[in-house]
Amino acid sequence: LAISIYLFSAISKFDVSFADELGLLFLRTVGSFISLDVSAWPVALQRIGAMSFPVWEFAVGLMLCFPRTRFAGMWMAWVMHGMLLAILGPWGLNHHWGVLLWNGFFICQAGLLFWPCMYQGPSCPLRVPGGEKLADLKGRVGAVAMTVILWLPVLEPLGLYDHWPSWGLYASHVERVNLFIHREARKKLPADVQRHLVELLGESSEWLGMKLDRWSLAALKAPIYPQGRFQIGVCAAVIERYRLQEEFRVVYEGAAGRLTGNRRTEEFRTWEELQKRVEGFRLNARPRMGTFGR
């Protein structure tokens, strides 16, 4: 399972959107550590540099697959997570501490799982009389469950499985949802929500953008779940809670194409249109209003 995280996480980044967006941001951050202006490079070279991150991550997964290369793979994993700590930490992009904790955990996990162990265990397994059948059943159930968990991420490109459970970590192709509130409706929102409204560059002054990602980090200390179903549900809950049914716009951007980076866009300007879209998801997109944040 740990090895599959590296492999599927790397595969999720093998696309144009990562090369042009988050991967490029990572590359420029690394360049800033050594006073190197990456933006002056040719576009093709910038993309190659950006794609070196998932290539290294995929190599980590492959090296960990085989006993002879596992020790080297562990060191490569340590280098990768150490680099991510530098990029995402206070010296670089200054991301939230939870993101740094995640990478710190993986450094520890790599050592615990893949450091060479000389212990061989008892010469024969311990057996409990009459427990063979139960143990065999548990083993079979566990094997089936693990097989399903390992292979479910292959459904993510088809839109049949969510990005994060597919280990799409730091992937740029994920769905995006933008919520816009009419300027006159700003007064309906509490002060702690208003602080996440921003002016729109090149847009009519009558609309303000709601930074759902910043709101999530401020309120929950966690990034917003990167799924269109979830984020549209959040938008609908905000609109309903603060009675903004006549004063909103929601723009949904589908997952980016792997080779083109193009996205399918939908815009909802009426409450009826948004409700129809909410009902169109396979899974529930409605949060429990009793527990929805203030």
Q: For the chain, what are the domain ranges?
A: 2-117+141-158, 176-291
pLDDT value of position 164:
92
Q: Find where tokens 């150490």 sit.
A: 82
- When mean pLDDT is compared across 102-106, 199-203, 247-251, 278-282, the lowest value belongs to 199-203
How does pLDDT run across 4-54, given as a tens digit for each residue? 999 999 999 999 999 999 999 999 999 999 999 999 999 999 999 999 999
DSSP 206: T
How does pLDDT run across 179-198, given as a tens digit for each residue? 999 999 999 999 999 999 99
DSSP 237: H
Distances (CA, A) of 131 to 128, 142, 266: 5, 16, 57
Average pLDDT for the chain? 90
What residues form DSSP beta bridges with 178?
251
**HSE toward the beta carbon, residue 225, CA cutoff 13 A:** 15
Answer yes or no: are the C-beta atoms of 110 and 74 closer than 8 Å: yes
Structure tokens at 215: 């709101």
Please report, in angstroms and rounded to a whole number, the separation of the first and last CA atoms in the chain: 37
pLDDT value of position 97:
84
**HSE toward the beta carbon, residue 108, CA cutoff 13 A:** 6
- When pLDDT is averaged across residues 123-142 and rounded to a whole number, the result is 69
Distances (CA, A) of 53 to 114, 163, 246, 260: 21, 19, 45, 20
Burial class (CB in 10 A: 0-12, 13-18, 19+), 289: exposed
Structure tokens at 77: 């994993």
Per-residue confidence band for 83, with pLDDT thresholds at 50, 70 and 90: very high
